[in-house]
Structure 1
Amino acid sequence: MNFTTKIPLVKSNHLINYNSKIVSLGSCFAENMAEKFEYFKFQNVVNPFGIIFNVVSIEKLIFRSIHKQYFTEKDIFFHHESWHCYEVHSEMSKGNKEDFLATLNELIDSTNNQITKAIHFTITLGTAWVYRNIETKEIVANCHKVPQKQFVKELLSIETIQQSLQNIITLITEANKEAKFVFTVSPVRHIKDGFAENTLSKSYLISAIHSIVTLSLSKCNYFPSYEIMMDELRDYRFYAEDMLHPNQTAIDYIWIRFFENYIDEKEFATMQQVCDIQKGLHHKPFNPKSDSHQEFLSKLQDKITKLVVIYPFMKF
């Protein structure tokens, strides 16, 4: 007897392995999945400019990075004792203007390098609702607690989302012919927009992504994070205390569904080795100075050394 609706998944034609370089961009759920890549020691870079919820802002940052369009003083502003930029997350903000600009422009250089070398790009869209700066007419990635009267809220059309996604694919593939894409919609519920409005937003994102994936099957896949949360995990016990974000159990489950279909099975044994090492590193002994624990640490270090010889990029 089944007590859940299983989402059918087709195994990807572009499987990830330990030689793959991965760039993950998008909403906070992109960070959740990136933490899994990091735990299993894949070569993953996530949100160099911080969490970005909308596709237009993701496109802008990719354009800047690929074309090395550096930030200048006209791109930043001072508010509440810090320097901010409407194109990046508030976690990037700094108190010193010169340091802030230097950091942003160093990130452009490093992101350019990552884009040209990566094979897999995972892009997680959070919402179709955006805020447009009334003065500049530009869509912002983050409002940085600037008074709401300085923005107008709007819903991106399906056509606008499609065009932005297509621009992202074109920009990246022109710089990197080997690039492959996995698009997904975040399962986080943005109910500050309203319940019906959140559903409308997610439906726009899904519709746009499906249109793009259908046109670019040789390069793109759609991973149904949102659908897995809504149908396979249709229960509030899979949400965090805010009842909006998936809890760790849900994230773990969605990750399992992902790696079963998007990571090469040949890597499963290595993933298990990494997992065993991670568990060993987090083990808390009753007596850290005991002979048995010292022997345990010695064996654990041997496992790490053997793995790092094969995969020098792994850091434990």
Structure 2
Amino acid sequence: MKLQTQIKLKKQEHNLIDYNTKLLLLGSCFSENIGDKFEYYKFQSISNPFGILFHPKAIENLVIRSIQQKEYTEEDVFFHNDQWHCFDAHSKHSNVSKEKILSDLNTQIQLTNQQILESTHIIITLGTSWVYKLVESDKIVANCHKLPQKEFSKILLSTYEIKQSLQSIIEAIQSVNKNASIVFTVSPVRHIKDGFVENTLSKSHLISAIHQVTNNQVSYFSSFEIMLDELRDYRFYKSDMLHPNNTAVEYIWQKFQHVWMASESVKIMSDIDAIQKGLKHKPFNEKSEAHQKFLEQLERRKSEIQSTIKHLKF
């Protein structure tokens, strides 16, 4: 008896992810879920240097600005609710000091530039087609930073506009890094503040546009479809009924592994998982002989794997 519809996934044939891989993850909060997995398993990865970015225009701006190494100046930040903010970045970079936010933003510009140049894989998760545009300047923002709604107009990017934005992202990356594999995915998180029908429309624009730009180096990973069709049950959501819970994230991560991970890396990941769990172990008696032997074995396992993969740090 078959009790689940399953998405057919094809194993990637080239440029698989291993421990020599360098990854850059950009986009919605779901990219951070997957980014956390890469970090846990000690891959060389950077996730969302400018914080969560929900729509393609925000990601396009970040990618192009980083490649051009165009630094932020006082004109790019504003003061609101006792902090300085930047419309291009998430509020995690907001700061009470103007000098500090500019320093942080420009550090991220250089970091992102270097990672784009060096990455073997760039994974971009799109969250929504809805964008907010400043009425005063006509600028599309990445984050409204809780400014009054009247200062923005809300628009839905067309499939054509998203396609153009994605092509700009791809062309910008390939102008400095011709060998990177670019993986697009659509966040399964539902943006119901836009409305249920509006959220469906938004996701459909993203998916349609992505499929118009895929080629040998640009691919689509179906995290959205896995969540909606394979995990079709509220027990796979957090209490808000919108975000995938830990079980769902782990499930989609395993599917991603199947498509993108080199087989030799899977064994290493298993060893790292055992070490990570060992590091979190809390003994009943820290001074016991059994615990001291456990720590010695743990250090030996760490040394063995670090001798093989030099960049690993626990």
Q: TM-score category by the smaller chain?
A: over 0.9
Q: What's 2:273 paired with?
A: 275
> For the residues of structure 2 that align with 1:194 and 1:76, how far apart are their CA atoms?
31
Q: What's 2:159 paired with?
A: 158
Alignment of 1:57 onto 2:55: no
Q: CA deviation at 1:107?
A: 1.1
Q: What's 1:240 paired with?
A: 238
| Structure 2 runs not aligned, ≥5 long | none
> For the residues of structure 1 that align with 2:145 and 2:219, how far apart are their CA atoms?
33
Aligned length: 313
Q: What's 1:315 paired with?
A: 313
> For the residues of structure 2 that align with 1:261 and 1:119, how far apart are their CA atoms?
16
The one-character-per-residue Cα deviations of 1:22-57 (angstroms, maximum 9, x if unpaired) are: 000000000000000011111110000000000001
Q: What's 1:265 paired with?
A: 263
| Aligned-partner SS, 1:154 | strand
> Are the counterparts in 2 of residues 70 and 108 from structure 1 also a CA contact under 8 Å?
yes
Q: Percent identity?
A: 54
Q: CA deviation at 1:221?
A: 1.3
Q: CA deviation at 1:268?
A: 1.0
> For the residues of structure 2 that align with 1:95 and 1:175, how far apart are their CA atoms?
35
AA aligned opposite 1:112: N
AA aligned opposite 2:58: S
Q: What's 1:186 paired with?
A: 187
> Are the counterparts in 2 of residues 26 and 53 from structure 1 also a CA contact under 8 Å?
yes
| Aligned-partner SS, 2:19 | coil
AA aligned opposite 1:2: K
Moved >4 Å (runs of 4+)? none
| Aligned-partner SS, 2:50 | coil
| Aligned-partner SS, 2:250 | helix
AA aligned opposite 1:7: I
Alignment of 1:11 onto 2:11: yes
Alignment of 1:205 onto 2:206: yes
AA aligned opposite 2:261: I
Q: CA deviation at 1:165?
A: 0.6
Alignment of 1:1-316 (within 5 A): 1-13=1-13, 14-213=15-214, 217-316=215-314
Q: CA deviation at 1:18?
A: 0.5
AA aligned opposite 1:9: L
> For the residues of structure 1 that align with 2:111 and 2:204, how far apart are their CA atoms?
34
Normalized against structure 1, the TM-score is what?
Answer: 0.98
Normalized against structure 2, the TM-score is what?
Answer: 0.98
| Aligned-partner SS, 1:218 | coil
Q: CA deviation at 1:231?
A: 0.4
> For the residues of structure 2 that align with 1:106 and 1:279, how far apart are their CA atoms?
33
| Structure 1 runs not aligned, ≥5 long | none
The one-character-per-residue Cα deviations of 1:275-310 (angstroms, maximum 9, x if unpaired) are: 111111111222221100110011001111111122
> For the residues of structure 1 that align with 2:205 and 2:195, how far apart are their CA atoms?
15
Q: CA deviation at 1:205?
A: 0.5
> For the residues of structure 1 that align with 2:278 and 2:102, how far apart are their CA atoms?
41
The one-character-per-residue Cα deviations of 1:201-253 (angstroms, maximum 9, x if unpaired) are: 0111000001111xxx2101111000000000000000000000000000000
The one-character-per-residue Cα deviations of 1:115-139 (angstroms, maximum 9, x if unpaired) are: 1011100000000011001111011
| Aligned-partner SS, 1:221 | strand
> Are the counterparts in 2 of residues 12 and 221 from structure 1 also a CA contact under 8 Å?
no
AA aligned opposite 1:189: R
Q: CA deviation at 1:102?
A: 1.1
Q: CA deviation at 1:3?
A: 1.1
Q: CA RMSD in A?
A: 0.7
| Aligned-partner SS, 1:24 | strand
> Are the counterparts in 2 of residues 130 and 140 from structure 1 also a CA contact under 8 Å?
yes
| Aligned-partner SS, 1:212 | coil
> For the residues of structure 2 that align with 1:32 and 1:107, how far apart are their CA atoms?
20
> Are the counterparts in 2 of residues 40 and 274 from structure 1 also a CA contact under 8 Å?
yes
